[in-house]
């Protein structure tokens, strides 16, 4: 009875009362981190794919070949598809000087940024919002779900979104809440030159400082951010392929809801069958988020992050148009997960001010749903990751065997030229793909009939270790008898 009461008290207070409860809470918090890290380690390979060749390898090739500092800077600040990937290129150049670019290491570094984003939000909630550790359980189970599987093993997208759009953006807003405008400006600059969408941080941050009358913080951020924006505008030409006219408001509203509710995953690229579920989920999250923003006091970081995600949804709906499959693609699910986690943090902070029973019931429900959601994505979203890994290993094997980059990028000639130049300059060593590469595909031989007699050599790989083991045992027995004749 006492044990049951102690666990019931844990559920109500959220604070472990003994070392067993502390160990259990720590284990439950560690499971999603360990699971996510295991997925990243299992499915990432050192094989450049699609944008990796153009935005990472090609850029680094031209950087190395540039003979002047001015030329190198021009390459680093070059715009590509609406983004000035300065930070991505700096990471690639740093790898080059450390021995060569490794796509798998880039992916490990990229996904580390997403895990640090989760840890940053949890640390803020625990220290600033005074949320007990137990009540933080839904946060990692929500954010470290695999709904955004498409970005996990795609180096160019992963480093841009997990570091630029997520970690640096959250760090910028966190610095603002602490009154450190200069540091916030630095993080904003990093976010902007990792992902152009992070430009949404600037008006949001200034409005926050002005509403709270933090004049010094606003001035520091304004000056640093303005310099970053001027430089960004100077090196970013008008974007091609993006909408230039105002979209229909109903289409835009549907896209925003789909973006905000892009949580549910099927392990498929085609998310159209989930459109209604995503829009309903997005509407519910926006309603709940709006309620908690109004009712909860303080908790500035999750409020700002939620508004930042909403700003990204508006930008995506405007720039990408009514194309559901583009606004709600898998890798954009990270923003919906981020928004959902912030809604929960606002909700639990509000519930901490109310009755314990209501708080315990609400936490229990969300914890069960989030754990089930995480488990579901771990079950269904590893299949496409495994398929991607298999495909890229086969493409690498084909390139190593034939020198043909077919399938690695749309233009075979371009891919061959980039990989050949990268190998010649020491930017990327194609032979380094061998450590994860499957044998080159070969024609399968017809299976042997079951009644066919075994040919000499068949099963040799199985028999040889057994024969060696038997011979070694006999030799040891003989040596023992010679050393001790009496025993014989």
Q: Could you list the beta-strand ranges (E) of 143-242.
A: none
- Distance CA(340)–CA(346), nearest Å, equals 10
Indicate the average pLDDT of the chain. 84
Tokens 């850029």 correspond to 59
Domain presence at residue 391? no
Residue 239: its pLDDT value, please? 53
- Say yes or no to pLDDT of 309 above 60: yes
pLDDT band, residue 181 (cuts 50/70/90): very high
> For residue 104, how many other CB atoms are within 10 A of its CB?
19
Flag whether pLDDT at 478 surpasses 50.
yes
> Looking at residue 434, what is its pLDDT?
81
Residue 484 pLDDT > 80, yes or no?
no
Least confident of 230-239, 242-251, 374-383, 443-452: 443-452
What pLDDT was estimated at residue 94?
96
Instruction: Output the pLDDT for position 185.
Output: 95
% of the chain surpassing 90 pLDDT: 63
The answer, yes or no, to whether residue 481 has pLDDT greater than 70, is no
Q: Where does residue 429 rank: exposed (0-12), middle (13-18), buried (19+ CB within 10 A)? A: middle
Range name among 120-129, 185-194, 226-235, 446-455 with the lowest pLDDT average: 446-455
What is the three-class DSSP state of 409? Answer: strand
Structure tokens, 36 = 């996510």
At residue 292, does pLDDT exceed 50?
Answer: yes
Tens of pLDDT, residue by residue over 64-93, are: 999 899 999 999 998 776 667 899 999 999
pLDDT tens digits along 391-430: 999 999 999 999 999 999 989 999 999 999 999 999 999 9
pLDDT band per the 50, 70, 90 thresholds, residue 390: very high
**Ramachandran bin of 452, using left for φ above 0, alpha for ψ from -120 to 50, beta for the remaining angles:** beta
Identify the three-state secondary structure at position 83.
strand
Q: 262-279 as b/e, with b when 16 or more CB fall inside 10 Å?
A: bbbbbbeeebeebbeebb
Give the tens place of pLDDT for each residue, 360-389: 899 999 999 999 999 999 999 999 999 999
pLDDT for residue 474: 59
User: Could you give the CA distance from residue 30 to residue 254 in angstroms, rounded to a whole number?
Assistant: 36
Does residue 309 contact residue 260 with C-beta atoms inside 8 Å? Answer: yes
CB-based contact 376:382 (threshold 8 Å): no
- Look at residue 410 and tell me if it is in a domain: no
| Mean pLDDT of the 453-458 span | 38
**What's the confidence (pLDDT) of residue 139?**
97
What's the mean pLDDT in 299-304? 94
Q: Could you tell me the pLDDT band of residue 279, with boundaries at 50, 70 and 90?
A: very high
Of the pLDDT bands very low, low, confident and very high (cuts 50, 70, 90), residue 330 is confident
Residue 455: count other Cβ atoms within 10 Å of its Cβ: 8
Let me know if residue 108 belongs to a domain.
yes
pLDDT, mean of residues 344-349: 95
In this structure, is residue 354 part of a structural domain?
yes
The single-letter DSSP state of residue 406 is B
pLDDT digits (tens, 9 = 90+) for 10-65: 666 566 666 887 888 999 999 999 999 999 999 999 999 988 998 999 999 999 99
Asked whether residue 2 is domain-assigned, the answer is no
d(CA 423, CA 100): 10
Q: How far is residue 214 CA from its own chain's centroid?
A: 33
Q: Which domain holds residue 57?
A: 33-237+245-386
Residue 161 has pLDDT above 60, yes or no: yes
Q: What does the pLDDT read at residue 301?
A: 95
The percent of residues above 70 in pLDDT, for the chain, comes to: 81
Tell me how many domains the chain contains. 1
Q: Where are the alpha helices (DSSP H) in 128-248?
A: 138-143, 149-152, 155-159, 169-177, 181-192, 201-211, 215-235
Coil vs helix vs strand at 47:
coil
CB contact at 8 A, 309 and 335: yes
Asked whether the predicted pLDDT for residue 106 surpasses 50, the reply is: yes
Query: Is 442 inside any structural domain?
Result: no
The pLDDT of 441-468, averaged and rounded, is: 41
Q: What is the pLDDT of residue 13?
A: 59
* pLDDT over 90 at 206, yes or no: yes
Tell me, what's the pLDDT at 298?
83
Whether residue 20 is contained in a domain is answered as no
Categorize the per-residue pLDDT at 465 as very low, low, confident or very high, splitting at 50, 70 and 90: very low
User: Residue 404 domain-assigned?
Assistant: no
């Amino acid at each position: 009875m006492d044990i049951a009461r102690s666990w019931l008290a844990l559920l109500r207070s959220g604070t472990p009362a003994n070392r067993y409860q502390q160990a259990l809470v720590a284990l439950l918090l560690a499971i999603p981190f360990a699971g996510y890290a295991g997925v990243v380690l299992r499915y990432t390979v050192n094989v450049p794919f699609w944008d990796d060749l153009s935005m990472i390898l090609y850029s680094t090739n031209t950087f190395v070949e540039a003979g002047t500092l001015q030329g190198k800077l021009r390459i680093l600040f070059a715009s590509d598809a609406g983004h000035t990937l300065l930070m991505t290129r700096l990471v690639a150049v740093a790898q080059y000087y450390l021995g060569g670019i490794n796509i798998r290491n880039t992916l490990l570094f990229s996904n580390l940024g997403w895990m640090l984003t989760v840890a940053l939000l949890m640390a803020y909630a625990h220290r600033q919002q005074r949320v007990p550790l137990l009540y933080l359980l839904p946060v990692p189970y929500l954010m470290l779900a695999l709904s955004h599987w498409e970005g996990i093993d795609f180096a160019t997208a992963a480093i841009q979104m997990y570091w630029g759009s997520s970690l640096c953006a959250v760090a910028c807003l966190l610095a603002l809440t602490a009154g450190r405008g200069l540091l916030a400006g630095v993080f904003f600059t990093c976010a902007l030159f990792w992902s152009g969408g992070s430009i949404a941080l600037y008006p949001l941050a200034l409005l926050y400082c002005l509403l709270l009358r933090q004049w010094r913080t606003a001035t520091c951020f304004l000056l640093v951010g303005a310099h970053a924006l001027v430089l960004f505008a100077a090196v970013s030409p008008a974007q091609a392929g993006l909408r230039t006219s105002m979209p229909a408001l109903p289409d835009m509203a549907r896209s925003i809801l789909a973006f905000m509710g892009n949580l549910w995953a099927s392990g498929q690229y085609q998310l159209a069958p989930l459109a209604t579920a995503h829009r309903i989920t997005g509407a519910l999250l926006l309603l709940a988020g709006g309620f908690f923003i109004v009712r909860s006091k303080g908790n500035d970081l999750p409020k700002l992050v939620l508004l930042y995600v909403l700003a990204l949804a508006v930008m995506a709906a405007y720039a990408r148009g009514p194309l559901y499959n583009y606004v709600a693609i898998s890798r954009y699910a990270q923003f919906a997960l981020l928004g959902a986690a912030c809604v929960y943090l606002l909700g639990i902070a509000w519930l901490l001010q109310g009755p314990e029973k209501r708080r315990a019931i609400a936490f229990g429900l969300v914890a069960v749903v989030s754990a089930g959601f995480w488990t579901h994505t771990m079950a269904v979203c590893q299949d496409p990751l495994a398929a991607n890994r298999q495909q890229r290993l086969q493409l690498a094997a084909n390139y190593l065997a034939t020198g043909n980059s077919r399938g690695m990028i749309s233009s075979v000639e371009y891919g061959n030229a980039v990989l050949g130049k990268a190998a010649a300059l020491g930017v990327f060593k194609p032979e380094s793909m061998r450590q994860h590469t499957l044998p080159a595909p070969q024609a399968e031989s017809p299976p042997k009939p079951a009644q066919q007699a075994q040919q000499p050599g068949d099963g040799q790989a199985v028999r040889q270790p057994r024969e060696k083991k038997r011979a070694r045992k006999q030799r040891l027995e003989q040596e023992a008898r010679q050393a001790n004749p009496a025993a014989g």
